């Protein structure tokens, strides 16, 4: 692999990282009320309500919002553990092109 190919790979990686960051910021902005309600429910240790709120979100948004705090995510590591424990992923979520 020559230097140009390495540079092109790095540029592509940086572009993809930037695009994901933009999608994450958009999801945080659009779901700010839900995020706030989830954090309040987490503070109150109301896991049933956390699950209801979380599982009402689109799967694509869930995948963005579960981003680690070190990568710009809004939930702490401990909050992420709790959210993932109540996360209900369906077959349709995993295979969105599959007809029902």
Alpha helix ranges (H) inside the chain: 3-30, 32-43, 47-56, 59-65, 77-86, 91-94
Under a CB-based contact definition with an 8 Å cutoff, are residues 56 and 93 in contact?
no
Query: Which residue, among 58, 40, 61, 59, has the nearest Cα to 49 in the 3D structure?
Result: 40
Entry pTM = 0.82
38: buried, middle or exposed (CB in 10 Å: 19+, 13-18, 0-12)? buried
Q: Where are the domains of the chain?
A: 3-94
Check whether 69 has a pLDDT greater than 90: yes
Write out pLDDT tens, residues 19-68. Answer: 999 999 999 999 999 999 999 999 999 999 999 999 999 999 999 999 99
Per-residue burial over 65-82, b if 16 or more Cβ lie within 10 Å, else e, is bbbeeeeebbbeeebbeb
């Amino acid at each position: 692999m020559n230097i140009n190919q390495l540079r092109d790979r790095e540029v592509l990686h940086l572009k993809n990282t930037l695009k994901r960051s933009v999608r994450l910021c958009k999801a945080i902005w659009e779901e700010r009320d839900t995020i706030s309600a989830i954090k309040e429910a987490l503070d109150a240790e109301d896991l049933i309500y956390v699950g209801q709120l979380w599982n009402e979100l689109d799967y694509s948004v869930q995948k963005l919002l579960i981003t680690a705090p070190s990568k710009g995510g809004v939930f702490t590591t401990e909050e992420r553990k709790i959210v993932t424990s109540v996360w209900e992923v369906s077959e349709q979520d995993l295979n969105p092109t599959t007809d029902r």
